[in-house]
Amino acid sequence: MHYRVLGKTGVKVSEIGFGAWVIGTSMYGDLDREYSVRLIKTALDLGVNVFDTADMYGDGLSEKMLDGLVGLAGLCLVTGLAWEEPHVHTWLESQ
């Protein structure tokens, strides 16, 4: 895996990231929890350290599944949230 420094942060991130949009959903086939976990483990084994998720991915399941990665050394977890104003306020207040 090749890595680059993220801006001026000094953080090294993999050139390939893991997009977790479909984790735990049936949008693109049946990606059950077991298969999703195998995908995440394979990405980690291959040196991926950038994981993209958001509260709306898999209706929140994506973030829940990646929660176990929080705290891993060198991990860069990129997240976002839906732009519906009431939803944004609720999410921010829950943090």
∠ CA(71), CA(55), CA(91), 5° rounding?
95
Write out the catalytic residue numbers: 57
Q: What share of the chain in percent tops pLDDT 70?
A: 85
Task: Please tell me what DSSP assigns to residue 72.
Answer: -
Identify the burial level of 79 via C-beta atoms within 10 angstroms of its C-beta, where 0-12 means exposed, 13-18 middle and 19 or more buried.
middle
Residue 1: band (very low, low, confident or very high) from pLDDT cuts 50, 70, 90: very high
Region 7-27: what's the mean pLDDT? Answer: 86
CA 95/CA 82 separation, integer angstroms: 15
Identify the burial level of 36 via C-beta atoms within 10 angstroms of its C-beta, where 0-12 means exposed, 13-18 middle and 19 or more buried.
buried
pLDDT at 13 over 90: yes
**Selected residue with higher pLDDT from 68 and 26:** 68
**CA 35 centroid distance within chain:** 16
Answer whether 54's CB lies under 8 Å from 63's CB.
yes
